[in-house]
Structure 1
């Protein structure tokens, strides 16, 4: 479930030397699959299996002393289908389309400078709409370790999170002098699991600021720890001093978000919804993962022992034929 380096080489060209890594090939990211869909949903069994694998992969990294540092749908890929590497070039092009050369041109019509190729090739699309992914296809590869670090290596400690703002853990803003830890992965892991089962992300913000995202956090999870609350200068614009929203519509609570992001879209599309028992189990698992204080968040081991993992997601993942894992 974790990509690894198969080979390395260096490209020496007119624009310099470029070190390259050959990694495990894969299909498309979960983000791209949702972008390729009108309804932006995974089938329920697929969502469960994806979530199970993501927690298993994160647990493996944490066991090895590594914080991923950038967990989100764009860094989770679907593995290739089992017999993909047996396709001939002709069959590959027949199934997925032949390479499409696109001319590289100067916008002002001038000749291309030395070192610029005359054509580029449009990347092949091996994905499909998210709702069309089947359970046997729901095998993940966790990638992009550019922000990863070791908690045990003092020289590698990180204080700045480069995770997208909508899923960035709040301690990155309110405790900038403390190093990030495994708990930062737990926050983004919770946000990513929500995005796997839901149509929309848990915290939303288009071109959002830090204040916008903190408002989303308080709307959803309640008041910040007191010292953070006092430090947040914009709190009075939307909240009373005791954390109540001020005459604001829409105000979307945790349960509101679950209904309008998970249940209602699935009902509209005629897809199965989550039963009350499973919904409550998801809540029981996600809320400790989203504790504001990083030291109060659960660990990957505790997540794997949660009711939702034990009763719903891990058993669904185990239904994938072992020959295809």
Structure 2
């Protein structure tokens, strides 16, 4: 097996930040490790993020496979994800539950790096941000598939909102494909066919060929996340049966419970509502803004508010070009405004007023003028500067029903 260095501050391809294996950080996991008194046995790695790692496990008691998310120790001390999920399970009502990831179990695990909260969930497919050009040559979802996915996400969000929960991180990577075939698999080999065999690389010391000395804080080897194009093909094999689920409540919060003074700010800048960008308290309407951006990306293939590499000031500039001058409290706190605008919100360059076209979304429309025109009707109601003026999720779904955007 080839080796990697333990001291590198960069993220290796398909592996988590190695230096976060330390007291307070990630829990070191090895294949065949067990958790919760042997109930969960580690089979493979499914993914990772800023807050933890995710593993494919086998439940030896219930005789089924599941996904195990192990949160970093320092995050677990103040983390509200489990509280939010428990609140969701107890208080969410109505339809849409089938478009939200199913949570099986919670427990705590003490390891060399601290106490870790653990969440056991159903096994899902890849995110809709995956390489769909492997399935669709034009690198975009067919319009009917895109409408179905958008409707399912909206119904899932409606279910979340009935519990008063703000998801807070609604974007392409947090919408996972689902196939009922996955839940029918009964052996490790079934999963290897689509998830690949575990790929391991031992750790070495920086600048040497020597294996890292054994340490309780770091794993003996890293497990890489495999390419899952075959799983993507499975989940998208029948356009009439495509099913997605909202996952990852790591940024979720409940405004009425004030679980945090202000919600976390981890959502990608392209999806962030202005109140989130400018640090104001936010609530359910912030999800509506993110949903509008998400739907437009799924349908049109581009962001409503464009920016080079997600630069904050350029996203705000795009907002102003698309929606007009920001409300005063944000306008005067935005220090870079004079790079493009005068104090009336007009775009000036070298003292000359110019009239740019609205950015709109950056993608190439693929559903025909009629589809895009009707989408713009609801989008305009979802991206109002004033959160109180934005459409509710129920209004979004009502519009979808009236325009033939159905979940099935």
Number of residue pairs matched by the alignment: 301
Aligned to 1:267: none
Aligned to 1:27: 125
Q: Deviations over 1:246-269 (max 9, x none)?
A: 359995515xx45x5132xxxxxx
Aligned positions of 1:145-294 closer than 5 A: 145-156=249-260, 158=262, 161-174=265-278, 176=279, 178-247=280-349, 251-254=356-359, 257-258=360-361, 261-263=363-365, 273-294=366-387
RMSD: 3.1
* Distance in 2 separating the partners of 1:244 and 1:34: 39
* Distance in 2 separating the partners of 1:7 and 1:159: 25
The offset of 1:96, in angstroms, is: 4.9
Aligned to 2:68: none
Aligned to 1:3: 101
**Secondary structure of 1:120's aligned partner:** strand
Q: Extract unaligned runs of 5+ from structure 2.
A: 1-98
Q: Deviations over 1:93-142 (max 9, x none)?
A: 34553332333332322332323444333224444379966424521111
Cα distance change on mapping 1:235 and 1:92 into 2, 3 Å: closer
Contact 1:68-1:148 within 8 A present in 2 as well: yes
Cα distance change on mapping 1:132 and 1:62 into 2, 3 Å: closer
Aligned to 2:246: 142
Aligned to 1:323: none
* Distance in 2 separating the partners of 1:87 and 1:249: 64
Contact 2:235-2:242 within 8 A present in 1 as well: no
* Distance in 1 separating the partners of 2:107 and 2:259: 27
Q: Extract unaligned runs of 5+ from structure 1.
A: 264-272, 319-325
Contact 2:166-2:283 within 8 A present in 1 as well: yes
Contact 1:199-1:261 within 8 A present in 2 as well: yes
* Distance in 1 separating the partners of 2:264 and 2:107: 30
Q: Which structure has the highest strand share of the two?
A: 2
Which protein, 1 or 2, shows the higher relative CO under an 8 Å CA cutoff with sep ≥ 6? 1
The offset of 1:92, in angstroms, is: 3.8
Cα distance change on mapping 1:205 and 1:88 into 2, 3 Å: same
* Distance in 2 separating the partners of 1:189 and 1:20: 28
* Distance in 2 separating the partners of 1:12 and 1:290: 44
* Distance in 2 separating the partners of 1:142 and 1:88: 26
Aligned positions of 1:63-142 closer than 5 A: 63-82=162-181, 84-86=183-185, 88-107=187-206, 108-114=208-214, 115=216, 116-126=218-228, 127-128=231-232, 134-142=238-246
Question: What TM-score results when the alignment is normalised by the length of structure 1?
Answer: 0.80
The offset of 1:166, in angstroms, is: 1.9
* Distance in 1 separating the partners of 2:143 and 2:391: 25
**Secondary structure of 2:388's aligned partner:** helix
Aligned to 1:266: none
Cα distance change on mapping 1:241 and 1:47 into 2, 3 Å: same
Cα distance change on mapping 1:34 and 1:95 into 2, 3 Å: closer
* Distance in 2 separating the partners of 1:25 and 1:166: 28
Cα distance change on mapping 1:246 and 1:143 into 2, 3 Å: same
Partner of residue 393 from structure 2, selected from 300, 315, 322: 300
Q: Deviations over 1:138-194 (max 9, x none)?
A: 2111111122111322454535533112221112344x3x42111111111111111
* Distance in 1 separating the partners of 2:227 and 2:176: 13
Aligned to 1:312: 404
Contact 2:166-2:253 within 8 A present in 1 as well: yes
Q: Which structure has the highest helix share of the two?
A: 1
The offset of 1:3, in angstroms, is: 1.6
Cα distance change on mapping 1:24 and 1:131 into 2, 3 Å: closer
Aligned to 1:269: none
* Distance in 2 separating the partners of 1:129 and 1:78: 11
